[in-house]
């Protein structure tokens, strides 16, 4: 059977993953006193400053959150609500390492799934990695939503927490499409060679198991 060469899914999945990584350098959290105007330049550059009549705005990227000092002094110091989970530096580092591990698993999985007959564990690892890249964003959404009443100003999610889950979903759809296509090709090859299949994982032709 002629080997098919369809790499469209790969470029879609890898492109979405790349966008997800790049979005980390855009604001993750934005905080204002409710009256400070924010331009797109301020949103993307992570600027902090005072507007008219003492108004304040600040946007914070992944680097700001990892460093911690500026975010703590400008935002967390203003929090007067109930503390459900006091996040320290080690917690932030652990979340960062989790995100790096998820991105690495996603990248390795997507690249290895380009083989003509990938295995089931590669598919599962890729989906798990992509889900892991979206998890920090969902956690940020939850934390921001739960803590809004504790601030005198307005705290909002930035650009990154919106982009990352969408990018992860696009990559997942591309990976699932690849898996489905390969499984279909394997079944067609089996019928062409008049092979008898048993129940189980149809990752490779029976003669290669």
User: Are the C-beta atoms of residues 172 and 88 closer than 8 Å to each other?
Assistant: no
User: Are the C-beta atoms of residues 52 and 67 closer than 8 Å to each other?
Assistant: no
Give strand pairing partners of 154.
Answer: 32
CATH number at residue 182: 1.20.140
The backbone region for 169, taken as left when phi is positive above 0, alpha when psi lies in -120 to 50, beta otherwise, is alpha
Any domain includes 68: yes
Any domain includes 208: no
Any domain includes 205: no
Residue 171 backbone phi and psi in degrees, to 5:
-65, -40
Q: Given pLDDT bands bounded at 50, 70 and 90, which one contains residue 90?
A: low
**Which of these ranges, 17-26, 52-61, 140-149, 164-173, has the smallest mean pLDDT?**
52-61
Q: How many domains does one find in the chain?
A: 1
The pLDDT tens digits for 160-180 are 889 999 999 999 999 999 999
Cα–Cα distance for residue pair 58/81, rounded to 1 Å: 20
Any domain includes 84: yes
Q: Which residue has the higher pLDDT, 48 or 191?
A: 191
Any domain includes 196: no
Domain range for 151 is: 8-187
Any domain includes 204: no
Q: Given pLDDT bands bounded at 50, 70 and 90, which one contains residue 203?
A: low
Q: Given pLDDT bands bounded at 50, 70 and 90, which one contains residue 204?
A: low
Question: Is the pTM above the cut of 0.85?
Answer: no
């Amino acid at each position: 059977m002629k080997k098919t060469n369809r790499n469209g899914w790969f470029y879609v999945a890898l492109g979405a993953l790349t966008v997800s990584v790049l979005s980390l350098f855009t604001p993750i959290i934005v905080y204002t006193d409710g009256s400070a105007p924010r331009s797109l330049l301020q949103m993307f550059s992570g600027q902090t400053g005072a507007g008219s009549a003492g108004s304040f705005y600040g946007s914070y990227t992944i680097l700001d959150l990892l460093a911690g000092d500026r975010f703590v002094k400008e935002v967390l110091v203003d929090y007067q609500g109930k503390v459900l989970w006091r996040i320290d530096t080690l917690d932030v580092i652990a979340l960062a390492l989790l995100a790096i591990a998820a991105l690495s698993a996603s990248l390795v999985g997507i690249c290895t799934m380009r083989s003509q007959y990938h295995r089931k564990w590669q598919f599962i690892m890729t989906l798990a990695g992509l889900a892991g890249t979206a998890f920090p964003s969902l956690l940020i959404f939850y934390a921001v939503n739960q803590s809004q009443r504790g601030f005198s100003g307005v705290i909002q999610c930035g650009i990154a927490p919106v982009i990352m889950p969408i990018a992860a979903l696009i990559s997942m759809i591309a990976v699932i499409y690849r898996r489905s296509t390969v499984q279909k090709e394997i079944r067609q090859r089996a019928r062409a060679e008049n092979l008898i299949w048993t129940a189980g994982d149809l990752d490779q032709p029976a003669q290669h198991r």
